Amino acid sequence: MKIKTILVSFYLLCSILIFAQSENNEFRSTWVITWNWISPDDSMAETQARILEILDNHVAANMTSVLFQVRQSGTAYYNSSYEPWGYYSGYQNPGFDPLEFAVEQAHLRGLEFHAWFNVFSCSSTQPGTPAYDHPEWVCRDRDGIPMSSYRALSPGLTDVRDYTNNVAMEIVNNYDIDGLHLDYIRWNEYTNSSMMNNISPEEETKKMDGIISPELLNELENNRSGRYLYDTEHPYSAGVPEGFSSWEEWWRWSVTTFVNTLHDSIQAVKPFVRLSVAALGKYNWSSWQGYGTVYQDAALWFNEGFIEQLTPMHYHWTTANQFLGMLTDDCPECWVDHIEAGIESGRLYSVGPGSYMLDNYNAWNNHPSIINTCRTIPWVDGYQFFSSEQWDYYDYWNYAGDSFFNSRVKIRPIINNNGTAPDQPGLSLIKIDSLTYSLTITPSDTMQDNWFAIYRFIDDSINVSEDEIIHIQFNNEFFTIVDEFNGLQDYNGQYSYSATQLDRYWNESLPSIPLTSDSIPSFPPTVIGTNPADSTMIDISGPLQIQFSKTMDIESVNNSSVIISPSVSSTMTWSDSNHLLTLHLLDNLDYDSEYFIILEPSIMDINGALLDGNMDGTGGDAYSFYFWTVEEDIYGPAVYQSNIDFQSDINLLDIQDVITIVFDEIVNQSTLSESTVNLYQENNAVAYDTHVSEHNDKTVLTIRPVEPLLPITDYELVLSSGIEDMLGNPIPADILGSIQTTQFEYSEISIIDNFDNINNWWQPTGSGSTVGVLAGTEFATSNSFYLPGTSPQRSAKLSYVWDLGSADHLLREYLSGGPPRDVHFNSSFILQCYVYGDGSYNLFRFCVDDHVPDAAAAYHEVSEWFLIDWIGWRLIEWDLGTDPVGTWIGNGLLEGNLRIDSFQMTLGESGTSEGAIYFDNFRVVIKNILSTDDELFLPDKIVLSQNYPNPFNADTWIRYYIPSSQDIDLTIYDILGRNVIRLDHGYKDPGLYQVRWNGKNSKNETVSSGVYIYLLKNDNIIQRKRMILLK
């Protein structure tokens, strides 16, 4: 199937190239649900403040647009002449028109406003709603019985289509929106089963599109005859409507007719308003899909031009690789196979990650990788995230605006739209002071509103596809913005400015004539903080840190320009965009000693400005600070480094990873025991093996659970105050670390080498590629350093000594043959190795041979470099399917059968001249989401397994194991701790048990979607896990 995908991509290449996303073109938005911006308990001022907060958050994240819900359940959240006010406004006017207010405020902030409009889902029966006034419009089952809950209007009725078109066009005509976003644009998914009874109005209102419960999905598959897919004019008993070959054809036609008619209506009055649809994430595959389940042919609408933008709800996928597969790589179960015409025509396609799903799966940090992966697909134009509520919870707006959305962008115009590029605007530039400029933009057309983009650049000419956009404005009159510098910018030359005017279709004018500032002064760098502070007493362990005011030229900062007196060996690393220098001490400081750190005046920033040590505004003078150490060791051990952040509530860990803690001094190993080091899953102790070593006057503790951890499970690591150094000083208080495992477990593990011996590996100097090393560089085995829990207790040791007089440095540790070389794999695998790092800040990478058995030097492919900034054991991996390929001899692609070529190292920019790293358990693996493997169950204790599947779209199964006869109780609770149902209880014999839950409570009522806790307990032990029910 991948061959087909490649052919499709090649076929589309010519058309894609002319509108592929450039650096400053991207649609960015979130869905904003009614209950997130309005509540019946809020005053008008409170509601308006919340709307402003939402819009400001979108600006902070450098979003372009907002999808703002204004119609829900057949009720309105604006001044409607057709429908009453909705549930979340208390069914009454909130004192102002929220839609008018939100549109105006969005435009003032340079944001597009898309009115989110629920179409055929009209569950409310308040007086004045369509379901109340026209019960004959409500869908019916085969017996002609109408829906009694989750009511939906029939798209097959002309009156329904005409009415809904009029409701939508009232918004288009009366409000200056930029887009109309259709949701529930499909037939309903409900059946006439008892699960439809006793549904509260709030629960009906909160039912979100794109999500289906396992019970309902089961109903769809097993009770097709009970579905509400008919109406008063098209009863089942009358047969397939005239002119159609099947009900399915008519169902799809009816929805398509509405979309097409609405599109024509919009085009007749405001053709710049983009029509978009929230389509189901799976077009025509699986049991929950748009085309075959709810008769939504979104691909047709996109291809035929009935919509301008396709915005699917991609809630089923949580990783970058899954998104890549769903979009292009897993064809025919992919989108690209079905939307070629729409792509060729240049319409907008934006990806819809379910942020709530990433939250539920402990995969929130996958947002950046999903975005960056989707950016590699030329026809993807941007993103809409569901929903703003999760972004609020994580306070994600500023982070996004500083990272993956770190610049303002505009939106790509659709090819062959009805607009024309305006004439260029006027621009004037006034210098207020040396750091502040005023820019006034004068529109070329003041009769209508336009978008404006203000660019800042340093080249001779402007490139509107790539240059930085510093401001987006929506206006029809002249306006002024201020560009203010703080003197700490990384450029101290002249900036040029230009402005463009864009019509409502985002057709862009020619840029205004560039205007250039004077040279913007960039102050010399200063030291704005140190750790330790000047004239303070510290412990003998590092690290030492220096914070600069500007981005530094790290080449000017070295052991000659940073002097520790008396001398202490250290390595240097940079962070905070080369503003923060950290000195990692290779040996502890002496007790009762004074130290000076001197920064020489030759240190400079990236502009070449010399260090201003005395902060007088003139560079070229030194900076120094002073501290002293304690007279004797009076402090207990502290954590110097770990792969667990003990200050964070979220530490994601692979289920087969290790936990490594590096203490800042030598620890009495007899105090590292099961009484002082504990790993818990809930209240249950997790068995583990350990390895204790010493590195540069520091004790390194590695913990490896005896059995793999469970996916999507919370653990807690506790280091107790009984841990002592060699003088008996204890840790002052317990240290707690929270761990959450990822959603992946292992379906295949193939060992390449466990390093019982190294007979198949050359010495590094045996490879002609090795250069820049000295005597002492060798590959050997070690019985002192090994991965905990392995047998024999042995690892491979790679010692290296760099020749600092050499211009080039590369160490290639070559695998020459034998069984390890016979392990073949492909890009569906992940390459893993446990690596004991030496904290040297040198670089390490993997190298594989491609096109086996035809492998040759031209097919050597490498991973990107790993910075060895860690001490102790860590699981290092290269995902051969999604991680980038590094640069060496090959073509940068993994195309065929693979095998191992070598480990490689090179001297890092701040790397030490010599050291040693260790390798153990070298392998390739395949990971899947969750598992039902029996190996997760331990035979000597009660074990509660993760339910499967999870999240579930059918019945879910919960398994548990008890090692002896006993009374047990298995109960499900909601997230608030309320009892939902007791699944199993009583006296049980030893063994493995499996219980099904169908998503109903003890009253046989279907529960709502969300997170649930299931708890297994006996007289002494309680185990609990969480699971996710989707609707």
Let me know: does 32 contact 66? Beta carbons within 8 Å: yes
- 979-988 and 580-585 as β-strands: parallel, antiparallel, unpaired? unpaired
Q: Is residue 698 part of a domain?
A: yes
Average pLDDT on 588-592 reads 92
Phi, psi of 114 (to 5 degrees): -110, 120
Is 9 contained in some domain?
Answer: no
Last residue within a domain, chosen from 520, 537, 568 = 520
Per-residue pLDDT at 1012: 83
DSSP symbol at 325: I
Tokens 């609408």 label which residue? 301
455 belongs to a structural domain: yes
DSSP 8-state class, residue 477: S
How buried is residue 45: exposed, middle or buried, by Cβ count under 10 Å (0-12/13-18/19+)? exposed
pLDDT digits (tens, 9 = 90+) for 289-317: 999 999 999 999 999 999 999 999 999 99
* Pair 790, 886 in one domain: yes
Of the CA atoms within 13 Å of residue 176, those in its CB half-sphere come to 17
CA angle, 803 then 808 then 812, to 5° = 85
Structural domain containing residue 779: 747-929
Residue 1008: CATH number of its domain:
2.60.40.1930
Provide the CATH number for the domain around residue 861.
2.60.120.260
Instruction: Specify the DSSP class assigned to residue 818.
Output: S
DSSP state of 691: E
Per-residue model confidence (pLDDT) at position 936: 36
Nearest to 351 by CA among 304, 315, 390: 315
Angle at 898 between CA 897 and CA 902, to 5 degrees: 165
DSSP state of 182: E
**What mean pLDDT is predicted for residues 583-594?**
91
In the structure, what pLDDT confidence band is assigned to residue 488 with cuts at 50, 70 and 90? very high
Q: How sure is the predictor about 946, in pLDDT bands with cuts at 50, 70 and 90?
A: confident
Structure tokens at 405: 């959305």
Q: What's the mean pLDDT in 532-560?
A: 93
Say which residue, 126 or 942, is predicted with more confidence.
126
**Residue 930 in this model has a pLDDT that exceeds 60:** no
Give the list of residues 6+ apart from residue 714 with CB closer than 8 angstroms, or none: 681, 682, 738, 739, 740
The pLDDT tens digits for 745-792 are: 888 899 999 999 999 999 999 999 999 999 999 999 999 999 999 988
Average pLDDT over residues 261-290: 96
Model pLDDT, residue 74? 97
Res 16: pLDDT: 33
Question: Are 846 and 986 part of one and the same domain?
Answer: no
Q: Which two tokens stand for residue 87?
A: 């549930």
294: left (phi over 0), alpha (psi -120 to 50) or beta: alpha
Q: What 3-state DSSP class applies to 247?
A: helix
Mean pLDDT throughout 175-197?
Answer: 89
Among 901, 916, 915, 906, residue whose Cα is nearest residue 846: 901
In a domain, 571, yes or no: yes
Residues 947 and 821 in one domain: no
Rounded to the nearest integer, the mean pLDDT of the chain is 90
pLDDT at 205 over 70: no
Q: In sequence order, which residues have a C-beta less than 8 Å from that of residue 1031 and are 6 or more positions away?
A: 207, 208, 211, 212, 213, 216, 1008, 1009
- CATH code at position 441: 2.60.40.10
> How much of the chain exceeds pLDDT 90, in percent?
72
Does the CA dihedral 375-377-381-386 come out positive or negative? negative
Please check whether residues 579 and 691 belong to one and the same domain: no
Give yes or no for residue 163 having a pLDDT over 50. yes
pLDDT tens digits, one per residue of 331-389: 999 999 999 999 999 999 999 999 998 988 778 989 999 999 999 999 999 999 999 99
Query: 3-state SS of the chain: helix, strand, coil percent to 5?
Result: 20, 35, 45
Q: Report pLDDT for 18.
A: 33
Q: What is the pLDDT of residue 207?
A: 63
Query: Is a pLDDT exceeding 60 seen at residue 108?
Result: yes
Asked if 870 and 1001 sit in the same domain, the reply is no
- The pLDDT confidence band at residue 861, using thresholds 50, 70 and 90, is very high
Same domain, yes or no: 802 and 720: no
pLDDT digits (tens, 9 = 90+) for 873-887: 999 999 998 788 999
For residue 825, what pLDDT is reported?
93
Residue 848: phi and psi, rounded to 5, are -125, 155
Q: Residue 950: pLDDT band by 50, 70, 90 thresholds? A: low
Least confident interval from 21-30, 289-298, 420-429, 540-549: 21-30
Burial of 1006 (0-12, 13-18, 19+ CB in 10 A): buried
Greater confidence, 623 or 983? 623
- Residues 344, 213, single domain; the answer is yes
> Parallel, antiparallel, or unpaired: how do β-strands 536-538 and 623-629 relate?
parallel
Which of 891, 906, 929 is the last residue before a domain boundary?
929
The pLDDT of residue 209 is above 80: no
- Residue 975 counted as domain residue: yes
What's the CA gap between 346 and 360, in Å, rounded?
35
Identity (one letter) of the amino acid at 463? N
Q: Using CA atoms in the order 993, 998, 1004, 1005, what is the torsion angle rounded to 10 degrees?
A: 140
Kindly report which listed range (70-74, 453-457, 889-893) carries the lowest average pLDDT score. Answer: 889-893
Taking the CA atoms of the chain, what radius of gyration do you get in angstroms?
A: 32
Kindly state whether residues 799 and 896 are assigned to the same domain: yes
For 653-701, how does the pLDDT look when each residue is reduced to its tens digit (9 = 90+)?
A: 999 999 999 999 999 999 999 999 999 998 899 999 999 999 988 999 9
Q: In whole angstroms, what is the distance from residue 802 CA to residue 790 CA? A: 32
- 235 falls within a domain: yes
pLDDT at 20: 37
Is the pLDDT at 318 greater than 50, yes or no? yes
CA atoms 700, 705, 711, 714: torsion sign: negative
Q: Are 996 and 888 members of one domain?
A: no
- Please indicate, yes or no, whether residues 305 and 266 belong to a single structural domain of this protein: yes
Q: What is the mean pLDDT of residues 806-826?
A: 95
Beta strands 309-310 and 274-277, pairing class = parallel
Please report where in the chains the tokens 């996303």 appear, as a residue: 21
Of the residues 742, 760, 794, which one is the last residue of a structural domain?
742
- Do both 91 and 238 map to the same domain? yes
Beta-strand pair 274-277/179-183: parallel
Taking the C-alpha atoms of residue 475 and residue 109, their distance in angstroms, rounded to an integer, is 10
Please provide the DSSP assignment of 938-951 as one string.
-TTS-EEPPPBSSS
Note whether residue 724 is domain-resident.
yes
* Inter-residue long-range contacts of 44-49, CB under 8 Å, 24+ positions, other chains counted: 44/94, 44/95, 44/96, 47/94, 47/96, 47/98, 48/96, 48/101
Q: How far apart are CA 506 and CA 452, in angstroms?
A: 9
Q: Which of 221-230, 241-250, 333-342, 902-911 has the lowest mean pLDDT?
A: 221-230
Q: What is the pLDDT of residue 892?
A: 86
Q: How far is the C-alpha of 363 from the C-alpha of 655, rounded, in Å?
A: 14
* pLDDT at 21 exceeding the cut of 70: no
* d(C-alpha 28, C-alpha 789), whole Å: 48
Terminal Cα-to-Cα distance of the chain (whole angstroms): 31
Give a yes or no: residue 419 inside a domain.
no
Work out whether strand 450-457 and strand 494-502 pair parallel, antiparallel, or are unpaired.
antiparallel
Are 258 and 161 spatial neighbours (Cβ–Cβ below 8 Å)?
yes
What is the percentage of the chain residues whose pLDDT exceeds 70? 93
CATH code of 40's domain = 3.20.20
pLDDT band at 1000 (very low <50, low <70, confident <90, very high): confident
Q: Whole-model pTM above 0.75?
A: no
CA dist., res. 871 & res. 868, Å (int): 8
Question: How far apart (Å, rounded) are the C-alpha atoms in residues 82 and 507?
Answer: 35
- Domains: count for the chain: 7
Residues 486 and 602 occupy one common structural domain: no
- Which of residues 1010 and 89 earns the better pLDDT score? 89
